[in-house]
Chains A and B, each alone.
Chain A
Amino acid sequence: MLKLEEVEAGYGRTSCLHGISLEVREGEIVVLLGANGAGKTTTLMTISGLVAIRGGAVTFQGTTLSGMAAAELVGLGISHVPEGRRILPRLTIQENLELGAYLRRDRAAIRLDLARVCELFPILAERRRQLAGTLSGGEQQMLAIARGLMARPKLLLLDEPSLGLAPKLVSAIFDAIKRMNEEGITLLLVEQNAYRSLQIAHRGYVLETGRVVLADTAARLAQNPRVKAAYLGG
């Protein structure tokens, strides 16, 4: 479904992705692991058009993505829930969700999806009229994911959704990810929580300083001594 081949990208004069190749197949959850600064966020931003592709190719369902604007990619079915949530704090929760469906014209279906994401994250339904900035960190993460879902994506990119959340909320987020996947959404997940994410993922990649150093099924990665040492606390 999504394929990166020898992708190079970076900021200003420096490159920080040095030939990333990876693949996400339809129906999968794929996890990207790696230390801080390895290039995970940059990889997601390259896919969603926020960072320009300097070399190699990104294709999504056969379409080459290079040069497309972020907004166009949403139309193709790629939704990116960015690092740090980036909810719109001075808009209401309802408005945040409606903006997630900005490009859609099918009002009736939008209303159904609104009900669906509220069922996935009931807290959002209770607080619909409140400003998004009044939500706690975990609730904001739920809103960010729900907003991403409102675009009806085929592929959802999630950047560190569990970062900084209390353990109970971490579980809620991972449960929601699993459920979205069962409902047919393909996911590319960047996570610090290697333990939980390898439990729900099908496959995974490990990034180090802008390169893929390991690629395997999630089960085998969880047993890999290098992964165990670096990301699973021995």
Chain B
Amino acid sequence: MTPLQLFCQQLANGLTLGAIYALIALGYTMIYGVIQLINFAHGELFMVGAYVALTLVLLSSAGPLPSGIPWWMTLLVCGLGSMAAAGMLGAAIERFAYRPIRHAPRLNALITAIGMSFFLQNALMLLYGATDRHFPNPIPLTRWEVGGVTVTLMQLVVWAASGLLMVGLQLLVMSTKLGMAMRATAQDLKACALLGIPVDRIIATTFVIGSAFAAMGGMLFGLHYGTINFHDGYLMGLKAFTAAVLGGIGNIPGAMVGGLVLGLLEGLGAGYLSSQWKNVFAFLILVVLLLFKPRGLLGERVADRA
């Protein structure tokens, strides 16, 4: 491999990881945007998504479904199913855990979020066990050599799924009435209530979308690594949170950029330095960023509010 090829290979690998980070980071940033809460349970919603997808994949290969269903159809159904399940769970968490204390001091909500994270993590452990679970991958092992760089079908699926979701989100937020209400609610909740905007419903919708995106991230994570464990959500959640802060928390394009940048840096770091250190990079980036650019790369909104 020439140095350029190696570089491009790490880029491709990093982009895959980055796309997954971006999907999770979007939820952190959107939820922070509307209620200024770091939803510590978000990493667990990602895990819920991964486990629901796993369950659906297992059902579809062992269950009553006729074989001969194309792999992408299976994935589509599993993805949508896991997004729906996590979306509903996210809405329920907002309704029953966060809404009652929305006007309480910020610390109460943070502690509730941490408690919710523990609760979900343990629930997943009880349901699925504490050991690693193999995640069967229905995607064929097709790969292409492009100028000496290997790209797998798996990677294409990750890019396509996350790309479509992110473009869809951008369209929703920027050019629909619901999206306009979401942006407005993120700026001034009380003023929105005075305009007749049903802010509770807008906030719930934000949780549904954020959680569903995390769930898709969870499924792609499972497919990418081949095994999942109930506590994977912790590290992935922290990294995606780093990505959200990197892009400027509360800023939607920022979360996408932050996720991709973090994934790329990790990919390059793993390739050129040592893969054992890759988790350190993420947090080194967070620390350095908070020191020198506390408002994030895209420079809007705040880390000092968090």
- In Å, the complex CA distance between A211 and B126 comes to 60
Interface secondary structure of A, over-half rule: loop
The residues of B with any CB-CB pair to A shorter than 8 Å are 177, 180-181, 183-184, 187-188, 190-199
Q: Are A86 and B190 in contact (CB under 8 A)?
A: yes
Q: Are A71 and B184 in contact (CB under 8 A)?
A: no
Are A86 and B191 closer than 8 Å at their CB atoms?
yes
Total residues of chain A contacting the partner, CB 8 A: 25
The residue from B188, B190, B196, B199 contacting A74, defined by CB atoms under 8 A apart: B196
**Interface residue from A82, A89, A91, A98 paired with B194 (Cβ < 8 Å):** A82
| CA gap between A90 and B182 in the complex, in Å | 12
Complex Cα gap A86–B189 (Å) = 10
Residue of A nearest to B187 (CB): A88
Q: Collect the chain B residues with CB atoms within 8 Å of residue A75's CB.
A: 196
Q: A70-B193, A99-B197 are in contact. Are A88 and B181 (CB under 8 A)?
A: no
Q: Which residue of A lies closest to B201 (CB)?
A: A71
A130 CB to nearest chain B CB (Å)? 16
**List of A residues within 8 angstroms of B196 by Cβ:** 70-71, 74-75, 102-103, 151
Whether B180 and A95, one on each chain, are in contact in the complex, defined by CB atoms closer than 8 angstroms, is yes
Which residues does chain B contribute within 8 Å of A90, judged by CB atoms?
A: 183, 187
Cβ contact within 8 Å between A89 and B187: yes
Residues of chain A with a CB closer than 8 A to B191's CB: 82, 86-88
The docked-state distance in angstroms from the alpha carbon of A80 to that of B195 is: 8
CB distance from B304 to the nearest CB of A (A): 19
Q: Does any Cβ of B come within 8 Å of A109's Cβ?
A: no
Is A69 part of the binding interface, using a Cβ–Cβ cutoff of 8 Å?
A: yes
- Could you say which residues of chain A place their CB within 8 Å of the CB of B183? 88, 90-91
**Given contacts A91-B180, A95-B180, A100 and B195 within 8 Å (CB-CB):** yes
Complex Cα distance, B192 from A42, in Å, reads 18
- Contact present for B194 and A80 (CB under 8 Å): yes
Question: Which residue in chain B gives the minimum CB-CB distance to A95?
Answer: B180
Of chain B, the residue at the smallest CB distance from A84 is B191
Q: Are B195 and A99 in contact (CB under 8 A)?
A: yes
> How long is the Cα–Cα vector from A71 to B180 in the complex, in angstroms?
17
Q: Is there an interface contact between A102 and B194, defined as CB atoms closer than 8 Å?
A: no
Given contacts A50-B190, A91-B183, 12 further A-B contacts (CB under 8 A): A48-B194, A71-B197, A74-B195, A74-B196, A82-B191, A82-B194, A86-B191, A88-B191, A98-B177, A99-B180, A99-B181, A102-B197
